[in-house]
């Protein structure tokens, strides 16, 4: 029995000037992993490699403990996939679409599909072209779930949706996980969505994994620190990652707060240091977007 529902090891895929650079991460069975990074960082390319939709140059991918190329058919029968772009026969109805997709799966549960449509408030009599983007996403999710997959792989499932629909989809993800037998891997550049539901986080930047760790370890380890500019010197500045200085003060993050506090107090005994818990968005801003180094 496999322990990790998905294992990506030293994955390399070259596209002209862009490449995945030995991407590695793993998802334990029964958990949600959020896969984040800026647009163009390599998220969709990684997912397409996992789904065996494109060939990679080197490395290995195991899904359910099976090689994703050698056992592609078996793997795809056991997982659900929702791409960022929804491909349907737009002139056909939702019901027809379910019957069509269901014909490719041995374990297709029509009753479950209809139940999911009701749960998502998707009218099965409507033609697909009549659905909003949010409703098409819900249809895609119902199609992906109706054969009871062990793993859901979702590419930017909440992108372009309004906050109400996004929150509803996140609640659905949590409902899916209640049995403890399912796992979800979803990519998004919306870090607040990951922070709400993910157990694990993998961040990719320019084709390279910056960090892959359980969410609480990241958010508990890093601290945002702020102080007035008069309490600043080179020692303090070099001790912070993602350093930013304004007219009235400066800020940065550290994963060695006690050590930093001792250095700060030694240089500025009268100084006032303000701290706050880091958010995933702040972590991304400091470490990735501003070129900080994650250690």
What is the pLDDT confidence band of residue 290, given thresholds at 50, 70 and 90?
low
pLDDT at residue 26 in the model? 96
What is the pLDDT confidence band of residue 289, given thresholds at 50, 70 and 90?
low
pLDDT above 70: residue 151: yes
Question: Contact 34/193 with Cβ under 8 angstroms?
Answer: yes
pLDDT above 80: residue 176: no
pLDDT at residue 293 in the model? 46
Q: Which of 243, 248, 227 is CA-nearest to residue 286?
A: 243
What digits encode the pLDDT tens for the residues 184-228? 999 988 888 888 899 999 999 999 999 999 999 989 989 999 999
pLDDT above 80: residue 159: no
Cα–Cα distance for residue pair 58/10, rounded to 1 Å: 7
What digits encode the pLDDT tens for the residues 57-72? 999 999 999 999 999 9
Record the pTM.
0.85
Reduce the secondary structure of 154-168 to three states and give it as a string: EECCCCCCCHHHHHH
Which residues lie closer than 8 Å to 264 by C-beta, 6 or more apart? 227, 231, 236, 271, 273
pLDDT at residue 291 in the model? 53
Q: Which two tokens stand for residue 167?
A: 């929150």
Contacts 24+ apart (CB under 8 A), 269-273: 271/227, 271/228, 271/231, 272/227, 272/228, 272/231, 273/225, 273/226, 273/227, 273/231
pLDDT at residue 259 in the model? 94
pLDDT at residue 275 in the model? 94
pLDDT above 50: residue 32: yes
β-strand pairing of 4-15 with 18-28: antiparallel
In the predicted model, what is the mean pLDDT of residues 84-99? 90
Q: What is the DSSP annotation of 109-155?
A: -HHHHHHHHHHHT--TTSBGGGS-HHHHHHHHHHHHHTT--SEEEEE
Question: Contact 182/176 with Cβ under 8 angstroms?
Answer: yes
Q: What is 4-212's CATH number?
A: 3.40.50.300
What is the pLDDT confidence band of residue 38, given thresholds at 50, 70 and 90?
confident
Domain ranges of the chain: 4-212, 223-277
In which region does residue 37 sit, left (phi positive, over 0), alpha (psi from -120 to 50) or beta (all else)? left
pLDDT above 80: residue 85: no
Cα–Cα distance for residue pair 253/293, rounded to 1 Å: 11
Q: What is 223-277's CATH number?
A: 3.30.70
Question: Contact 5/177 with Cβ under 8 angstroms?
Answer: no
pLDDT at residue 177 in the model? 78
pLDDT above 70: residue 149: yes
Supply the mean pLDDT for the chain. 90
At residue 226's C-alpha, the angle toward residues 220 and 228, to 5°, is 165
What is the pLDDT confidence band of residue 172, given thresholds at 50, 70 and 90?
confident
Q: Which of 41, 47, 48, 51 is CA-nearest to residue 203?
A: 41
In the predicted model, what is the mean pLDDT of residues 100-110? 91
What digits encode the pLDDT tens for the residues 255-273? 999 999 999 999 999 999 9
């Amino acid at each position: 029995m496999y322990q990790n529902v998905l294992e990506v090891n030293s994955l390399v895929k070259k596209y002209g000037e862009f490449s995945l650079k030995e991407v590695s991460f793993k998802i334990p069975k029964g958990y949600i992993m959020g896969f984040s990074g800026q647009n163009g960082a390599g998220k969709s390319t990684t997912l397409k490699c996992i789904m065996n939709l494109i060939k990679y140059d080197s490395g290995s991918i195991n899904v359910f403990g099976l090689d994703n190329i050698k056992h592609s058919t078996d793997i795809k029968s056991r997982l659900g996939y929702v791409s960022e772009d929804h491909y349907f026969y737009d002139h056909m109805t939702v019901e027809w679409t379910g019957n069509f997709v269901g014909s490719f799966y041995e374990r297709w549960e029509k009753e479950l599909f209809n139940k999911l449509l009701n749960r998502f408030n998707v009218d099965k009599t409507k033609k697909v072209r009549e659905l909003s983007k949010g409703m098409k996403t819900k249809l895609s999710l119902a199609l992906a779930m109706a054969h009871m997959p062990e793993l859901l792989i979702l590419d930017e499932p909440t992108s372009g949706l309004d906050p109400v629909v996004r929150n509803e989809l996140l609640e659905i993800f949590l409902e899916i996980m209640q049995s403890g037998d399912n796992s979800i891997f979803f990519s998004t550049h919306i870090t607040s969505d990951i922070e709400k539901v993910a157990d694990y986080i993998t961040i990719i930047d320019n084709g390279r994994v910056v960090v892959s760790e359980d969410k609480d370890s990241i958010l508990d380890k890093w601290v945002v620190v702020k102080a007035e500019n008069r309490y600043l010197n080179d020692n303090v500045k070099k001790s912070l990652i993602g350093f930013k200085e304004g007219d009235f003060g400066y800020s940065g993050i550290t994963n060695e707060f006690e050590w930093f506090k001792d250095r700060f107090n030694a240089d500025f005994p009268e100084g006032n240091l303000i701290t706050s818990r880091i958010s995933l968005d702040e972590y991304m801003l400091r470490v990735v977007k501003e070129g900080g180094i994650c250690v």
